[in-house]
Amino acid sequence: MALVPISDLLKDAEAGGYAVGAFNCNNMEIVQAIATAAQEERSPVIMQASQGAIKYAGIEYITAMANMAASMIDVPVALHLDHGTSFEQTMRCIRSGFSSVMIDGSKLPLEENIALTKQVLAVARAVGVSVEAELGKIGGTEDDIHVNEADAYFTDPEEAKRFVEETGVDALAIAIGTAHGRYKGEPKLDFARLEKIRALVNIPIVLHGSSGVPEQAIREAIRLGVRKVNIDTNIREAFVGACRKVLADKPDEIDPRNVLGPARAAAVEIIREKIRIFGSSGKA
């Protein structure tokens, strides 16, 4: 199948009361794992590439691999830029063939975030690409983006209402207590804030930093209106953990296939598990 914008996937998720998993990819094996898991679960899926992934693999490779993976399965696949921080970067991804982009102006004052988001939307809408934006700062580190705990703040519901009304963005990432990277303790999500935002904002809500959030908390967030859930760290943990096991068991192993094959299989399993938690299994 051809790549589709996330707006198509999230519209169906809204109608069905589930969320679509957005899984970060950095190399061929992880792209293959995402596609395999989605096909086996009969689930729509979002492949995400962050600035770090694009820098590592190259935008041409990321786009080509995603297109190839999508063409080999018969479930809907979106290719999405995760945490784009400039107009120029989002345009580069759109020109390369991404079906969706995120413009993250959350570090900017509200008015500047709105203006930047509208600038990206003006171009993206003209070519059928959907746009995610962010309001509120999500703590932690993701590739080149770092937000100190002291600088992280939760999304204000009234600001979210204004932001969506003035931009018309397709999806909104909000800060309600999640963080990028590994958690030091168990995260506590502000469900009351999520409910207030959802009551004021009639578009799909996105939950970033979801690796390590307890399953029941994820399910509750989805019940309250989250329609896109981002997973990266859990995939890295499973992938690298499998590599370490092979090398520990067989320290003389030099065939990359014998190391990366089990890592890919481990990634498939964690992605399948997340898809089932999100409720999108069987929805393709």
- Which residues belong to the active site? 82
Give the dihedral sign, CA 50/236/263/186: negative
Enumerate the β-bridge partners of residue 77. 45
Are the beta carbons of 210 and 170 closer than 8 angstroms? Answer: no
- The Cα–Cα gap between 274 and 235 comes to 10
**Residue appearing with tokens 């703590």:** 139
Q: Indicate the residue type of 180.
A: H
**Of the candidates 254, 185, 249, 195, which has an alpha carbon nearest to the alpha carbon of residue 226?**
195
How many residues appear in the chain? 284
Enumerate the β-bridge partners of residue 79. 47
Q: Dig out the tokens for 53 from the structure.
A: 């992934």
Give the dihedral sign, CA 41/47/52/56: positive
DSSP-derived 3-state class of residue 80 = strand
- The Cα–Cα gap between 138 and 114 comes to 18
